[in-house]
Amino acid sequence: MLRRTDGFALLGILLLLAGVLLYLGGSSHRISLIYWLGGPLLWFAGFAVLVGWLSARLLSGARCTSSSSPKGALNTNSNASNIKQKGVR
């Protein structure tokens, strides 16, 4: 299931690809700081975004699985005990 934050994964992949293409696809006749500095900077930024997204995704998944019942699920045992205590049949 995709979450709203999964757009960060796409952004990280795009930054990685842009960095590689800029670094390796630069003109060999013209060495420019844009190619030599911009490419690796984009690559590292994309990698950092992907690592951040992955850790956030894993940590949020751990919080969801640690609870005994899923969010929004009815706990039928507590409802049954409340009805018995109130004397409703």
- Domain tally, the chain: 1
Residue 24 placed within a domain: yes
**Cβ-proximal residues to 17 (8 Å cutoff; 6+ apart), any chain:** 46
Residue 48 placed within a domain: yes
pLDDT score, position 86: 62
Residue 77 placed within a domain: no
pLDDT score, position 70: 55
Contact 40, 6 (CB under 8 A): no
pLDDT score, position 30: 66
The structure's pTM equals: 0.59
Name the residue range of residue 29's domain. 4-65
pLDDT digits (tens, 9 = 90+) for 46-76: 999 999 999 988 888 766 555 555 555 555 5
